[in-house]
Amino acid sequence: MTQHLNSIVEVSTALQNGQVGLFPCDTIWGIIGTLATADTIRNIKQRSKQSPFICLIPSTKHLATVSLPIATEYETELNKWWPGPVTIIAPKSPSIPNTVTAGKSSIAIRVPKFQPLNELLNQLNAPLISTSANISGTSHPLSISDISPELLDACGFIYDACEPGSNTPSTIIDCTSYPPKTLR
């Protein structure tokens, strides 16, 4: 049974206890969890093992916890892109489980610009993984009423105190080499 949580503290506690849930992100509705819950989210979403997750971090100061150093040419761009709805692909840190990156040597990272999500990330002081709140192969939901009952039942909680910051998935930019390449 999905719990409706009303505070960021409750969501933080649920995540620290290993739950995954539905949360309004800066872009669209997402399924979120800690790095350790990648397989759980993959099963709920019916996601291929070849599909990596996006890693959400509280600030650029946390980049080194999830990524190897990226080219210094990107420092100016990162300051323009973040916080905001831009996901970068960067070389992953060895500390990141392969379940998060689908075994790839790179990781998708975003510093969001959305008060509830930023508050949660700051409360946790740790990265989260996220993916759109839909069963793989179906359209991402535009509102909470569009989230499938199957997904609602499979998640431990939902934070529905607000709607996402937009209805558009993030832009994805590959920063594993220079110059950057926009993928989405």
Question: Are 129 and 33 spatial neighbours (Cβ–Cβ below 8 Å)?
Answer: yes
pLDDT in tens, 148-178: 999 999 999 999 888 888 888 899 999 998 8
Strands 157-159 and 3-5, sheet pairing: parallel
Question: Are 28 and 164 spatial neighbours (Cβ–Cβ below 8 Å)?
Answer: yes
- 61: domain CATH number? 3.90.870.10
SS3 of the chain: the string is CCEEECCHHHHHHHHHCCCCEEEECCCCEEEEECHHHHHHHHHHHCCCCCCCCEEECCCHHHHHHHECCCCCCHHHHHHHHCCCCEEEEEEECCCCCHHHHCCCCEEEEECCCCHHHHHHHHHHCCCEEEEECCCCCCCCCCCHHHCCHHHHHHCCEEECCCCCCCCCCCEEEECCCCCCEECC
How many domains are contained in the chain? 1
pLDDT at 76: 85
pLDDT in tens, 46-104: 999 999 999 999 999 999 999 998 888 888 888 899 999 999 999 999 999 999 999 99
pLDDT at 180: 86
What is the crossing angle of helices 115-124 and 8-16, to 10°?
50
Cα separation of 60 and 109, whole Å?
A: 10
Question: Are 128 and 109 spatial neighbours (Cβ–Cβ below 8 Å)?
Answer: no
pTM, full prediction: 0.94
What is the extent of the structural domain holding 122?
Answer: 3-182
Cα separation of 131 and 112, whole Å?
A: 13
